[in-house]
Amino acid sequence: MLRISRQRFGFTLIESVTVLGIVCSLLLVVIYRFPTRVRQENAEKVFWEQLRNDWQQQVLLAGLTGKKHGANQSINFYQDTNTVAYMHKPDRTAWKVVKLPPTLHIDRGASVDIQANGHTSLRYVLFHSDLQPKYTIKLTALMGWGAYGIAFKDRK
């Protein structure tokens, strides 16, 4: 008697589900490992908002502590470590150090002193962003009331 065998071609359900699970796991690792441009832009926006809030807090602290103890506040931008340190002037203790987002870099660092009356030392800090390579971001500490301005200019 002649026996006819049927060969089935294809994958079983278990093999298909296993391969699908491995591919999904790899995709999740890749998606969360490499930040998207939207996440990078959001990180920069959060930094600028945090800088604005911390700057205003330094101005208020200078007014409160400077009149009593004659102490100024200081905001230091460090190019080598890519950080911003908020300091109490007489003892030079940093009460807060903020690391810049990976896409934002300090081109020219400076130290901005804020006096008790709210006046700042005239300084400027240059930043550049990997997200906007054509522009340099210039933060300028203005003279009165602890104000500052941010301007974008073409990189040359």
> Do the Cβ atoms of 44 and 103 come closer than 8 Å?
yes
Q: So where are the chain's domains?
A: 37-152
What kind and span of H or E run contains 91? none
| Cβ atoms of residues 118 and 146 within 8 Å | yes
Give pLDDT, residue 127.
93
The CATH superfamily assigned to 37-152 is minor pseudopilin epsh domain (3.55.40.10)
Q: What is the pLDDT along the chain (156 residues), one digit of tens a residue?
A: 566 667 777 788 899 999 999 999 998 888 777 778 888 999 999 999 999 999 988 888 888 876 666 668 889 999 999 999 988 776 777 788 999 999 999 988 888 888 888 888 888 899 999 999 899 999 988 866 677 888 888 876
Position 30 scores a pLDDT of: 80
Give the pLDDT confidence score for residue 50 in this predicted structure.
Answer: 94
The 3-state DSSP class for residue 81 equals: coil
Name the residue among 116, 121, 115, 117 with its Cα closest to residue 141: 121
What pLDDT does 122 receive?
85
Residue-level pLDDT at 2: 64
pLDDT value of position 64: 81
Cα atoms found within 13 Å of the Cα of residue 8, Cβ hemisphere only: 3
pTM of the model: 0.74
125-132: long-range contacts at Cβ-Cβ below 8 A with a sequence spacing of 24 or more? 125/77, 128/104, 128/155, 129/44, 129/103, 129/104, 129/105, 130/40, 130/102, 130/103, 130/104, 130/105, 131/37, 131/40, 131/41, 131/44, 131/103
